[in-house]
Amino acid sequence: MQEKSKYERILDRVKEEKGVEYDKDLTADDLKEIVTLFKELYKKSQGEDFPQEPRVQLIEAVKAVFRSWDNDRANVYRRMHDIPYEWGTAVNVQSMVFGNMGETSGTGVAFSRNPATGENILYGEYLMNAQGEDVVAGIRTPLPISTLEKQNPKVYKEFADIAKKLEKHNKDMQDMEFTIENGKLYMLQTRNGKRTAKAALKIAVDLVNEGMITEKEALMMLDPKQLDALLHPQFNDTALKSATPIAEALPASPGAACGKIAFTAERAKEMAASDKVVLVRLETSPEDIEGMAVSQGVLTARGGMTSHAAVVARGMGTACVAGCSAIKFADDEKSFTLGGKVFKEGDELSFDGSTGKVYEGLITTEPAKISGEFATIMEWADKYRAMQVRTNADNPKDAKNAFNFGAQGVGLCRTEHMFFDADRIPAVREMIVSTTVEERKKALAKLLPMQRKDFIGIYKAMQGLPVTIRFLDPPLHEFLPHENSEIRDLAEEMGLTFDKLKQTVADLHEFNPMMGHRGLRLAVTYPEIAEMQTQAVIEAAIDVNKEMGFKIVPEIMIPLTCDSKEFKYVRDIVAAKADEVIAANGVELSYKIGTMIEIPRAAVTADQVAEYAEFFSFGTNDLTQMTYGFSRDDAGKFLDVYYAKKIFESDPFARLDQNGVGKLVKMACELGRKARPNIKLGICGEHGGDPSSVEFCHNAGLTYVSCSPFRVPIARLAAAQANIKNPRR
């Protein structure tokens, strides 16, 4: 079938020839002419006449709906919302009513509450003498639903009563479509309405306060992923005061957006790989969904509060300003004029989906806070969840953010991230090129106070909550340069010959470094590295306990275990050093030593590992990588093909594979508890912030999930929902 735009161009050309702006202004003869042109285009593209038999037309329309289940945008939407492909779609066939039979007829879309703010007022838009497509496409500027009360009080009251009745029956805010035909109201459909994250929280809390639903029901009606929209930066108040808006339009979906302008979904996807992007369109269509997904926000010249851009952006939690009629696009749609200035692709723009204001350039942003209804929902979530939520944090700033978002500790602190700082990398490199234990210890002694300071900062930020610190994990070659010019510069800086350093780099090269000399294998080869890190962890805990009065119990995590004897060897080194430091300081301090389960062999021998490990933390990034045999850095090159051919429905690195990797996790949990009934079980891969994976972790009996700071509230809500669905005994 031809692209819709080819038919639209015919319609636009005829309107221009006839000197009219809107479809409704065309005469019957004009419409007959357009139909003839449409039929000619259809025959040219399809090689046959447009079917005239009504039954054939109906069956072809039904087929078109079924085919839509398999188009690109439907596949993308399902992956975004975890909808299985095998569910399929349905078709409703119903008799038509017509809103374009004159000024006593009309059509509209309305919500029983404001989907942008959650305010308990009837909210929507309508057009008289129009069809439904006219309202949602933004071709004509619709009227607010409140105007209908003045225009036709009887129909408005009937509609308002039905809206409340539907909301009460469905126990949720309703999205309704209606048509008025010759003064008679017809309800076309109702469904639970899409809403912004802010509105979702307010509506849930209000419905509880109104006695319509329970706290548990309120939690279950929320989409945890939607909370992400509330955790993204908002415009800084000071920066905003000094900025002058160049336009103001409809605040369709709240949140701050700033970035480089892209005019098409394709360009937005390309540009988003390296820059923050805002998508600016005349109007959006379903084909734009991927571009909208990667953009910071969406700005449209046409459309209302119920236009495609507004509805989809609200569902994604993406900022959107719609109907900015001040935007004047060039004929080629590769630039536009706004506020007296021409904007092209790559120019910088900011806009606020909460106020509808548009600004030239980039405005400073700052993170949002948990307060109001958001705080109430989090309170309820904590009340009903059984699993703890920790965070992945490698520095005090991230730890503090996570603490403010309700994290109950740090589940993963990656110490290697601390080694790359400019003031530390020389000592790390000195340690790597050392040829004797003494030389290595001398270099490590320079790193000790730096590591200790890092841990002190994180302990303080976490206010005495547990902190799990993972010892050095990546292969050593990552800390060295690989270009000859860089090797030469470093050799001169370190007082080495070029040949010697070049040889060291060559010696450290590995064919498959992700499965090479890394993790606890480094500690087996160079135990002094583990000893230095142990000393830093324990001394930091002692210092903070003395200063702050906390009772920190350090948790030392040894990564990449594949064998119980291997783990015991390193564990004994760590324990001996920890005991030595504690004794030297004359204090009492408990500590725990555990491991990451990220190699399949460790999972299937977890009962043996648990004889020595006091806790497991599942590193599902590497566990997924090693179970699938996929490189998580390269799989993206071919996963799109797997999606297109229906081999995979989702990225296994984003959503935990419960059929394969999940079975290894469950097996390790069962074996671990068998050997050590009180073993602490956690997860610290990217899956820790994915709602479906959080539910799996709850059902598997994990003690906690750990995720990035800004996903902590998402995990808190997802954990509550999991416990409401399947309560732990």
Q: Which of 222, 249, 214 is closest to 325 using CA atoms?
A: 249
Angstrom distance (rounded) from CA 431 to CA 453:
20
Q: Which residues are catalytic?
A: 308, 684
Q: Which helix (H) or strand (E) is 186 found in, with range?
A: strand 184-192
- Which residues neighbour 178 within 8 Å (Cβ) at sequence distance 6 or greater? 107, 108, 109, 110, 126, 159, 185, 186, 187, 188
Residues 388-426: b if buried by 16+ CB within 10 A, e if exposed: bbbbbbbebebbbbbbebbbbbbbbbbbbebbeeeebee
Helices (H), 526-586: 527-548, 564-585
Which residue is listed with tokens 């997802």? 718
Q: Which of 207, 233, 211 is nearest to 377 (CA)?
A: 207
> Quick check: 187 and 178 in contact, CB under 8 A?
yes
Q: What letter would DSSP give residue 514? A: G
- What are the two backbone dihedrals, phi and then psi, of residue 464, each rounded to the nearest 5 degrees? 90, -5
Choose among 600, 516, 595, 587: nearest CA to 552: 587
DSSP conformation class of 172:
S
Please, which residues bridge with residue 372 across strands? none
Question: Which SS3 state, helix, strand or coil, does residue 108 take?
Answer: strand
Q: Is the dihedral of CA 467, 391, 221, 115 positive or negative?
A: positive
Spatial separation of the C-alpha atoms in residues 690 and 293, rounded to whole Å? 17
Q: How far apart are CA 34 and CA 14, in angstroms?
A: 7
